[in-house]
Amino acid sequence: MTTSVLSSTALLGNRPVHRIGFGAMQLAGPHVFGPPSDPEAAAAVLRRAVERGVDHIDTAQFYGPDVVNELIRSALHPYPEGLRLVTKVGAARDADGAWLPSGDPADLKRQVEQNLRTLDVERMDLVNLRRFDRDKPDLVQPPLADQLGALAELRDEGKLDLIGVSSVDEQSVRFGIEQGVACVQNAYSVVDRTDDGIVELCREHGVAFVPYFPLGSAWGGKEKLAEHADVAEVAAKHGVTIAQVALAWLLARYERILLIPGTASLEHLEENLAVEGITLDADDLALLG
């Protein structure tokens, strides 16, 4: 098995990280609820990712809940130097696994403390504020200024380093940029370009953009991609998978897009990491649009 490591980097805030990271959400059980069926296999994926050079792992206390953070700690602690652990706050799960808003400033502080405890770290490298601007636009949420202010207080206390925003609309992105956020984490892919304007806004201000659902969906993304003949054509030309084309398109879209594809499979992990070696030419990008 190859031991080559990733080489391409970009800035997350002022911290260089490899452009292909790892999203840990899929390490939990079905629907991101409960433990995985094979915890040791999930741990093996985490260890292999780090061995291959991944230095940006995205997690959240509400993945499981609790399960994924505890898995990361048991598999990787003590953490290798330079590994950036990124989490999200602002949501919770009920007993049936439903996703609930939990964005009051006091709740955000409590959630950061939970992440510190379960990951066994003194400081988070980055905390993303998970909003509901997109999935529940009519929801009355705490003022963004108050939420970011609570996280800034924890930053001043040394409990986190960088702050980002997730699942946000353009108005929230603009305000977040004014407040110095390090990244925006929104859904974005070759088949879902709703956030084209936000990506350009991030480019204009030199802010990292971290797309979730990079294949178009958390589950069934490859099926969505397969409906697009242009993606299949580019994949056939390069002798790669349609998923790899989708990830390579994102890397080509903006030099500070950072990928966090998730998987519980070693095979798929290697496939994702191999995207660094795929270069889409001008004809490919014109075809994909």
Residues labelled as active-site residues: 63
* CB neighbourhood size of 250 (10 A): 23
CA distance 277 to 154: 39
Q: Is 184 helix (H, G, I), strand (E, B) or coil?
A: strand
Q: Report the Cα 238 to chain-centroid distance in Å.
A: 26
What lies within 8 Å, CB to CB, of 178 at 6+ separation is none
Helix (H) or strand (E) holding 12: strand 9-12
Q: What is the secondary structure of 117-163 as a DSSP string?
A: HHHT-SSEEEEEEE--TTT-TT-----HHHHHHHHHHHHHTTSEEEE
What is the distance in angstroms between the CA of the first residue and the CA of the last residue of the chain?
36
Q: Report the Cα 252 to chain-centroid distance in Å.
A: 17
DSSP assignment letter at 29 = S
**Single-letter residue type at 21:** G
CA distance 148 to 40: 37
Distances in whole angstroms, Cα of residue 269 to Cα of each of 82, 124, 170: 20, 24, 32
